[in-house]
Copies of this chain bind each other. A is one copy, B any other.
Amino acid sequence: MLGKIRIVLMETSHPGNIGAVARAMKNMDISSLYLVSPRAMPDDSSFGRAAGASDILDSLVLVDSLQKAVEGCGLVVGASARNRRIPWPVMNPRDCAKEVLAKAAVTDVALVFGREDRGLSNDELQQCNFHVHIPANPDFSSLNLAMAVQVICYEVRMAFLSMLDGVDNGSSIASIRGAKDQGWDELPATADELEGFFDHLERTVKSTGFLDPENPRQLMSRLRRLFLRADIDKVELNILRGILTSVDKLFK
């Protein structure tokens, strides 16, 4: 599905940027690059910036018009700063990525990026089904070309991985916050194990004199709150029990 998506660069000035775009694309597993009349052809600086993505440069397609670059594409999206004279349908990168991915199931899709200094012309923008706008700082809104490609391709990849997660119920992009999340390396401690720990902890801090039974304040409540919210695993709990036991031995 990512294979149906092509990145089109219009009249790029700096060959280094072409390489940086190739790297950004490959990082997100998108590999089809079209150049429309670049001002300078890819050179050593392109391959330098591409790092390990030279395969994308080796297989790029060179054409002399936007029309040729988008041939066969059922969806054409142009990167744009807002505030055009005739406003075109415009999406943020997240909505755009979902749309691109959905359409890439059916047809080839082109994502078109303009010149470093002045983006896409009105004429070029009007060859697009819709525009995508990165909501940058209005006081400093011009992203480097490869940065813009990186952000858009990142969103496409996030949409792609979200879709995979939906299909196979995997966890390719799920965050892992603690022991109760899929992907953690140990099983979570259970409620009864935690209660055993709290009992032990209370006995130990009484024996060290830290907890005064005559004036317990909120000590155990605060300790319970801490360890209950920490989403602790069995190994961690065993370590804590071991520490308590090592303290207990000092009193034997």
A residues within 8 Å of B by Cβ? 20, 23-24, 26-29, 51-53, 86-87, 89-96, 130, 134-137, 139-144, 146-147, 150-151, 154, 157-158, 161, 172-178, 183-185
Contacts and interface: CB of A to CB of B under 8 A. Distances in A.
Nearest to A89: B177
B175 A95 contact: yes
Contacts of A136: 27-29, 157
A90 B137 contact: no
Q: Which of A52, A161, A173 has the most CB of B within 10 A?
A: A173
Contact of A147 (B27, B91, B96, B175): B27
Contact of A144 (B20, B89, B130, B161): B20
Contacts of A23: 143-144, 147
Q: Which of A27, A142, A146, A177 has the most CB of B within 10 A?
A: A27
Contact of A53 (B93, B140, B172, B173): B140
Nearest to A87: B185
Nearest to A185: B87
25 contacts: A23-B143, A23-B147, A26-B140, A27-B142, A28-B137, A51-B142, A52-B140, A86-B185, A87-B176, A87-B184, A87-B185, A89-B175, A89-B176, A89-B177, A90-B175, A91-B176, A95-B175, A96-B175, A130-B177, A135-B161, A143-B150, A146-B147, A147-B150, A150-B150, A151-B151
Contacts of A90: 175-176
A53 B185 CA distance: 42
